[in-house]
Chain A
Amino acid sequence: MNLHFADYLVIFIYFVFVVAVGFIIKKKITSSNDFLNSNKSIPLWITSLAFISANLGAQEVLGMVASGAKYGIMTVHFYWVGAIFAMVFLGVFMMPFYYGSKARSVPEYLFLRFDEKTRALNALTFAAMTIFSSGISLYALAKLLEVILQWNFDLCIWIAAGIVMAYTLLGGLTSAVYNEVLQFFLIVLGLSPLVIVALQDAGGWETIKTNLEPQMTHAWKYMGEADANPMGIHFMSLIFGLGFVMSFGYWCTDFLVVQRAMIAKNMSAAQRTPIIAAIPKMFMPLIVVLPGVIAIALTKSALDAGDYRIPTDANGGYDYTMTLPSLISHYYPSGLLGVGITALIASFMSGMAGNVTAFNAVFTYDIYQAYFFKNKSDKHYLNVGKLVTLFGILFSIGTAYIAASFNNINDFLQLVFSFVNGPLFATFLLGMFWKRTTGHGAFWGLVAGTLAAAITHGLTIAEGKGGWISPIYPISSGMGQAFIVASFSWIANFFTTIAVSLVTKPKTDEELKGLVYSLTEKVYGTEKRWYLKPAPLGIILLVITILLNIIFF
């Protein structure tokens, strides 16, 4: 693939704009709260798009297209089962606790609700997870640019990381959030033409359904038996593993996304942030799943006039991760090619900056300030926040090389999430809705959940991964393995937390006011009109989601 002047010009304009946003925001950064928390001043439409965009990293875009090609239309489960329900639950039930408790981060909420050690455990595992995710984004971009443009891998990593560092250091969280919104529009507008031309080339959806096995074009129909569908999982595993454990664990407890809602101007906006974000999220499969399904249909079709093929790896198998870049290379001419490449670069930057800004807030507030230097000046914490941003990016560069050993980035990311997020939702669920839950219960529940995740991963094997204790239970896909690992970790956490809580002393009701459901005054919002209230909006979205599942059954 050769870029022309117009392509380079588009990439250059993008780089200038993202750094310029950092310079514009820099003037407003006068305190650590501005830098790490945006001073809770961001309008609803921006927090909502940033909420979804923080999740729209390279692993989402490249990984979901790869999964679309590998697993077919079943990949929509990550949206219509694994996202919308949890986003609505977060907005309606959980944001009042996060926002109302005045916590600056999710680990800080755990400190208020439970104790110091639970916060420390969550802060440390979250910090590690964000660095892993950031590294994966970086690896994805560098590999992409190396393969399609023959640019030097190491150079790509350092230049790309340098640009993200420039705008996050200049403008902190606000700069990252503003750029995430720009990146969201760029990804959607930059990849939409690809879907249209590729779908036209494939002969439309009806032709695709004819050319592919029926398992690839039905979301639910073949999930009655694990062996009957490409993902290799039973529908109960999907609903519990993805739809409940992983989905709620990610969308409701991951500070990376929750942070975008916590910086809203008021409680009403904070509650509506994930719900408004669920609207574009619902339709994202059109941009990130459909191209993968089209690609595999074109590859398998004997009638493929355009001669498109998914690239193969060294072993002769499909290199699914390269599906989207190969589609862009095949269908986009000069000019639009630059837009497509820039959209991919934007997706990387969105994911990386989101992780780095979440990392620096958690590290500064929940590790540095909590355990090392409690009573320093605000300027001190502002400088520490900037320094942590710098080190976060350097650590990301290191972890980028770890990601290189996995052929499907999304599988890898789901695995990492299942270790950390899988057990976490049990802690929040019990903590917010059962006042008897104790700090000791929460802590040992998290430890047991993470251990259960590791043991389950060690006893199962999928696509050559896992089974490091003994590969006694084979699973046909890495995705299915991740769901099972997450499920066992959640169950272990849930029952351990209950058992330990019952034999340890809980906090008093007075201490738990505003932190648990039964002891918090129910505020039904100041909004008079029904379409501005979280619950009615959420119900409408759930009905549409169920309808989409039925349509693509």
Chain B
Amino acid sequence: MSEKLNQLSFIIGVFFILVALVLLIGYATATSLKHAINLYTGLSMMVFGLVMVKLKA
């Protein structure tokens, strides 16, 4: 885990997964966040985040 934290792609990936979760959970649970743009952006960021996490430095 410590080694992974030193990989920038892993850090960037985790960041975007967390932001995507905020958008997707918000879309699913809060009326004020229920906009299609939140859903699409959240999904895009989730895919990007997962790809970055999987990348090797």
Contact = CB atoms under 8 A, between A and B. Distances in A.
Interface stretch (A4-12, A251-259, A287-295, A313-321): A4-12
B30 to A, nearest CB: 7
Interface residues of B, number: 26
Interface in B1-44: 5-6, 8, 11-12, 15-16, 18-19, 22-23, 26-27, 30, 32-33, 35, 37-38, 40-42, 44
Q: Which of A17, A20, A46, A336 has the most CB of B within 10 A?
A: A336
A236 interface: no
Q: Which of B6, B37, B44 has the most CB of A within 10 A?
A: B37
A182 interface: yes
B18 to A, nearest CB: 5
A232 B34 CA distance: 46
Given A193-B41, A336-B37, A339-B23, A24 B32 contact: no
A21 B14 CA distance: 12
A437 to B, nearest CB: 40
A17 B15 contact: yes
B33 A197 contact: no
A336 B8 contact: no
A486 interface: no
Give the dominant DSSP class at A's interface.
helix
B38 A336 contact: yes
A549 B11 CA distance: 37
Contacts of B57: 43
Contacts of B45: 189
Given A13-B18, A334-B26, A335-B23, A178 B11 contact: yes
A401 to B, nearest CB: 33
Interface in A291-350: 331-336, 338-339
Nearest to B8: A178
A185 interface: yes
A438 to B, nearest CB: 44
A338 B23 CA distance: 10
Contacts of A181: 8, 12
Contact of A335 (B18, B27, B44): B27
A24 B11 CA distance: 10
B22 to A, nearest CB: 5
A333 B38 contact: yes
Contacts of A46: 8
Contacts of A20: 11
B33 A13 contact: no
Contact of A339 (B5, B27, B41): B41
A17 B11 contact: yes
A185 B41 CA distance: 13
Contacts of A338: 22
Contacts of B26: 6, 334-335
A21 B15 CA distance: 11
A332 B37 contact: yes
A136 to B, nearest CB: 27
Interface of B: 5-6, 8, 11-12, 15-16, 18-19, 22-23, 26-27, 30, 32-33, 35, 37-38, 40-42, 44-45, 48, 57
Given A182-B12, A335-B33, A339-B19, 17 more contacts: A6-B23, A6-B30, A10-B19, A13-B15, A24-B11, A43-B57, A178-B11, A193-B37, A193-B40, A332-B37, A333-B33, A334-B33, A335-B35, A336-B35, A336-B41, A338-B22, A339-B41
For the complex of A and B, the 3 pairs showing the least CB-CB separation, nearest first, are A333-B35, A335-B33, A335-B38
